[in-house]
């Protein structure tokens, strides 16, 4: 089972909004050097809503090529159209992704039975192992634990990213899920307790700027080294909070720009981080010792 810190990787872009593939490849190398355990390409943080299908697959291909088997690559493959989600899953498989991350269908608000049938159809029509992704704050639709656990019985549904931040729900999943069903936090602020109550890792925004610290924190938590994990997490708390001061990935892309890791590009309708928010994110980066005061 894939465990630890999996980065929800940004998609670098130039100031005109064109994808910067050389910088993307450099980010992949940096993450592997820093101890990131897996890379999620073209999730929400990778601006999946703003890239077209061919760009989407090109990004996944570039990440797979650069990772070169050193860490697993998880491709964002979700859509609010079941057919499109299947198509993305199969294309991601063709270019070498190890897993797909499929978000709960957004906007059309299906029933729990609709969600079950959606993910069941994906599982039956692709060989790519699929991780469910529940983020009701963005999708306006919540995958219940009961539905997720029914889906866990399907051989090609192998885990879930739970971005609810609800530890009561996480504890219920940890108690009832099959032992081989991976549980990942999708909420950086609650990742430490999530792992302590039985989670296997995180799919993290904070890991974009603090990959080594997030990897070390997850490893310490999994090993029961609570004081070590807390000490690391304490330095990251401001990042966990302020990287969401505006809609993700606006703050984290600015943070990486401030660190000299990526250029300033982002695509509409997303815009560059506002100046008042920049000061707040800068202080969070300084508190984590990622940039100089």
For the chain, report the end-to-end CA distance as a whole number of angstroms: 40
The tokens describing 50, both together, are 């703003």
Delineate the domains of the chain, giving CATH numbers in brackets.
Answer: 4-225 (3.20.20.70)
- Taking alpha carbons only, the member of 45, 160, 147, 164 closest to residue 100 is 160
**Number of DSSP helices (H) and strands (E) in the chain, helices first:** 12, 8
Rounded Cα–Cα distance for residues 19 and 55 (Å):
8
Rounded Cα–Cα distance for residues 90 and 103 (Å):
16
Catalytic residue among 161, 175, 235, 283: 161
* 161 noted as active-site residue: yes
- Taking alpha carbons only, the member of 127, 144, 57 closest to residue 86 is 127
Q: Which residues of 244-283 are buried (b: 16+ CB within 10 A; e: fewer)?
A: bbbebbbbbbbbbbbeebbbebbbeebebbeeebbeebbe
* 120 noted as active-site residue: no
CB 162 within 8 A of CB 173: yes
Return averaged pLDDT per consecutive 10 residues of the chain, 293 residues in all. Answer: 96 97 98 98 97 97 98 97 98 98 97 98 98 96 98 97 97 97 98 98 98 98 97 98 98 98 97 98 97 90
Q: Which residues pair with 6 in a beta bridge?
A: 38, 203
Which residues in 20-174 belong to E strands, given as ranges? 38-41, 73-76, 99-103, 130-134, 157-162
Eight-class DSSP state of 246: S
21-34 vs 211-222: helix crossing angle, rounded to 10: 40
pLDDT of residue 251: 98
Which residues fall within 8 angstroms of residue 224, CB to CB, at 6 or more apart? none
pLDDT of residue 293: 83
pLDDT of residue 281: 98
Catalytic residue among 107, 109, 120, 133: 133
In 243-274, which residue ranges form alpha helices assigned H by DSSP?
250-258
Question: Residues 209, 234, 134, 269: is their CA dihedral positive or negative?
Answer: negative
């Amino acid at each position: 089972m894939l465990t630890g810190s999996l980065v929800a990787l940004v998609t670098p872009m130039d100031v005109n909004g064109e994808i910067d593939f050389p910088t993307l490849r450099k980010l992949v190398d940096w993450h592997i050097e820093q101890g990131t355990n897996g890379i999620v390409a073209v999730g929400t943080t990778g601006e999946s809503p703003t890239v077209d299908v061919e760009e989407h697959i090109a990004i996944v291909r570039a990440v797979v090529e650069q990772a070169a088997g050193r860490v697993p690559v998880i491709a964002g493959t979700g859509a609010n159209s079941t057919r499109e989600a299947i198509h993305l899953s199969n294309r991601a498989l063709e270019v070498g992704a190890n897993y797909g991350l499929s978000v709960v269908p957004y906007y059309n608000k299906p029933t729990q039975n609709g969600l079950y049938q959606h993910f069941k159809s994906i599982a039956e029509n692709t060989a790519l192992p699929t991780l469910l992704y529940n983020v009701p704050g963005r999708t306006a639709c919540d995958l219940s634990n009961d539905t997720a656990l029914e889906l866990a019985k399907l051989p090609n549904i192998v885990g879930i990213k739970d971005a609810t931040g609800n530890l009561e729900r996480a504890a219920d999943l940890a108690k009832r899920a099959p032992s081989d069903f991976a549980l990942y936090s999708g909420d950086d602020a609650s990742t430490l307790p999530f792992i302590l109550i039985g989670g296997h890792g995180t799919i993290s925004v904070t890991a974009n700027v603090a990959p080594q610290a997030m990897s070390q924190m997850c490893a310490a938590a999994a090993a029961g080294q609570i004081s070590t994990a807390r000490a690391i997490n304490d330095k990251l708390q401001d990042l966990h909070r302020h990287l969401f001061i505006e809609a993700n990935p606006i703050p984290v892309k600015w943070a990486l720009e401030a660190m000299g890791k990526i250029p300033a590009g982002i695509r509409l309708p997303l815009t560059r981080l506002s100046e008042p928010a920049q000061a707040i994110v800068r202080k969070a980066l300084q508190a984590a010792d990622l940039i100089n005061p």
